[in-house]
Amino acid sequence: MTELSLKAPFVTKVPDAESTGTREREVFLPRDARRRTPLSTLRERLRWPLGIYTTPVAILIAWEILARAGVVSKTYAPAPTAIVRSAADLWQQGVLGPDLAISLQRAGIGLAIGLTVGIVSGVLGGLLRSGEYLFNGLVQVLNTIPLLAVLPLMIVWFGIDELTKVLLISFGAGVPMYLNLFAAIRGVDQRLIEMARTTGAGTWRLVTRVLVPGALPGFLVGLRFSLAYSVLGLVAAETVNADKGLGFLITQGQTYLQTNQVFVGLVIYSLLGLLADQFVRALERVLLRWRPSYEAS
Amino acid sequence: MSSTMATKPRRQTGVVVEQVVRQFGDRVVLDHLDLTIADEELVILLGPSGCGKSTLLRLLAGLDRPDGGRVEVPARRAIVFQADRLLPWQRVLRNVTLGLHGADAEQRARDVLAEVGLAGREKAWPKELSGGEAQRVSLARALVSEPELVLLDEPFAALDAITRLRMHDLVRALRTKHQAAMLLVTHDVDEAIALADRIVVMSNGRIGTSHEVHLTAADREASVAREELRARLLEDLGLAGQH
């Protein structure tokens, strides 16, 4: 975590006694010049010990207290500890593990297909004029169709089996990947491409050293969208029709008024989203070290 | 693209520009322009902004094609642009080896980086360099391919005055090591006098006047001949009496 807090500089206002009194002056001193007492140090430490997690933690604590006090009914929102307990129970009963596995498998296969198609068509479309003519119009049209509206058609075409779920996820992942990758490749600075040509670099060098690294930030944006949309597709596909998986777990919980179980599903979905986000962030830290915004210089 | 080898080359080296025309819409930027540059000659192309200096340079670089006339340049040429145009995602060394092939590419790049005073900075990212350092890397990138012609498009215009003087020293030092014809485009009269073998002034889309400069390094700094040359150049630029 990087320190982003902006500490106010130590400012002393010295009224200019000589003049009319309207000309105020400011004196800047090193921060150390302020007298540091053990008390002030302690106060600085304790001010925001949780950082950005302050509000989530506060909500969790309030929720727990309200649930235990009986203000919030168990069927509306069970206490956070109860949700953790029911997650552990479900795991021990051997329900959660297989459900999670099947969901991850769907997401994995769907992502693999969607990203492959998205990246291949995106690279061809970005690099070649003919590739642009082949793919761009089609994907622009597909992009205007909401992901969830495709589901009924997919059910008609492919039934209610795994194929529909996997294809919905790959549709969700492929379209944003193509669009972002295409824009990223086309967006590489023309002056750098021109420069590379004048150095005598061939097409291979141009692609590997200029276009691919230059398109990387856009690719990672596409990856982030793809992961988010694939989770969306997963939820939609599993909630509509499934006999196993996280979506099934949630639907079942809803049917039997097991709010615990619904919350367990939601928490796992959000953890999946968080993991995906952290994965892309880690990639960015490694791949985009060259970007000025990644460390102050 | 077919115009590249339209006619047989008549010379082996240097630059020959004959009756070149380049227009953008109705605006004729280069109007039957002639220019020759001998081997190892440093020619400075002087002119006000927008007079077609950069257009001519882009024609020589092969980045643009003439609408008429003929341009003949060595195949081995390199360009230093006004902005450093370094690839921000590659370290300094890889920026220099961009157009190089072969096992000794890295060593050659290291040698040239040492020549421009950047030994030990091979692993730096471009964002970590100052403006002067970045421009020296782009100079190294141009020289590493041992070009016969180096084209410099206002290379020091964005640098501060002190850094610019250091870069002038560097260019003079590099000329003794690298045998190449150079064309440097600038609008800075003092820069022209500091570096040139010959100064050509552009006006109305043609080469207006040409001044051979035979001055010693000390005389380029301060001398009567220098002031006379400066006055003549300012007159050519239409600025006589204003300075």
Nearest CB among A191, A216, A290 relative to B125 is that of: A290
Confidence of residue B178 (pLDDT cuts 50, 70, 90): confident
Whether B61 and A198 lie within 8 Å, measured CB to CB: yes
Q: In 3D, which of A191, A199, A193 has the Cα closest to residue B142?
A: A199
What is the distance between the alpha carbons of residues B125 and B94, in angstroms, rounded to a whole number? 10
Contacts of B202 (CB under 8 A, 6+ apart): B45, B46, B47, B51, B52, B53, B56, B208
**pTM of the predicted model, to two decimals?**
0.77
Whether B81 and A196 lie within 8 Å, measured CB to CB: no
- Which chain B residues are closer than 8 Å to A210 by Cβ? 87
The whole-number average pLDDT for the span B92-113 is: 90
Q: CA dist B210 to A186, A191, B121, B225, Å?
A: 43, 32, 40, 16
CB A90 within 8 A of CB A256: no
Whether B89 and A191 lie within 8 Å, measured CB to CB: no
Nearest CB among A196, A214, A289 relative to B98 is that of: A196
Dump pLDDT digits (tens) for B34-56: 898 988 889 999 988 778 888 99
ipTM entry: 0.83
What is the distance between the alpha carbons of residues A276 and A279, in angstroms, rounded to a whole number? 5
A195 touches chain B (CB under 8 A): yes
A196 touches chain B (CB under 8 A): yes
pLDDT of residue A116: 96
pLDDT of residue B86: 93
Which segments in chain A show pLDDT lower than 50? 1-3, 17, 295-297
β-bridge mates for residue B44, sequence order: B184, B199
Best of A192, A195, A207, A291 to disrupt the B interface by mutation (most B CBs within 10 Å)?
A: A195
User: Encoding tokens for residue A194?
Assistant: 């021109």
The whole-number average pLDDT for the span B16-30 is: 89
Is it the case that residue B1 has pLDDT exceeding 50? Answer: no
Dump pLDDT digits (tens) for B114-133: 988 898 899 999 989 998 89
Q: CA dist A169 to A217, A247, A251, Å?
A: 23, 14, 19
Dump pLDDT digits (tens) for B72-81: 998 888 999 9
Residue A167, min C-alpha distance to chain B (Å): 36
Whether B128 and A297 lie within 8 Å, measured CB to CB: yes
- Which chain A residues are closer than 8 Å to B89 by Cβ? 213-214, 216, 288, 290
Residue A189, min C-alpha distance to chain B (Å): 10
Q: Higher pLDDT residue, B140 or B12?
A: B140
What is the distance between the alpha carbons of residues A191 and B41, in angstroms, rounded to a whole number? 28
Whether B83 and A191 lie within 8 Å, measured CB to CB: yes
A213 touches chain B (CB under 8 A): yes
pLDDT of residue A44: 73
